[in-house]
């Protein structure tokens, strides 16, 4: 997967997290638990994509000068 596609997915996930956080704030208590569970999953995916992107930016260990 290219860095550009990872960055696009990360951006989309960040927007999803913001949207879900707003929905949790304004939702009724019945739907709040379902939204919190979905928010937890989207945050985990966002964090995973962020770690992938951060790892892709680092130079390989064998090319680092000593």
**Per-residue pLDDT tens over the stretch 16-60:** 999 999 999 998 888 999 999 999 999 999 999 999 888 866 666
Whole-structure pTM value: 0.77
The whole-number pLDDT of residue 47 equals 94
What pLDDT is stored for residue 19 in this prediction?
A: 96
pLDDT of residue 26: 93
Q: State both tokens at 35.
A: 């939204």
User: CA 43 to CA 65: how far, in whole Å?
Assistant: 36
């Amino acid at each position: 997967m290219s860095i550009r596609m990872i960055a696009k997915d990360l951006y989309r996930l960040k927007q999803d997290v913001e949207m879900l956080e707003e929905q949790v704030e304004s939702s009724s208590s019945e739907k709040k638990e379902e939204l919190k569970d979905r928010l937890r999953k989207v945050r985990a995916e966002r964090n995973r994509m962020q770690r992938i992107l951060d790892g892709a930016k680092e130079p390989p260990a064998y090319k680092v000068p000593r």
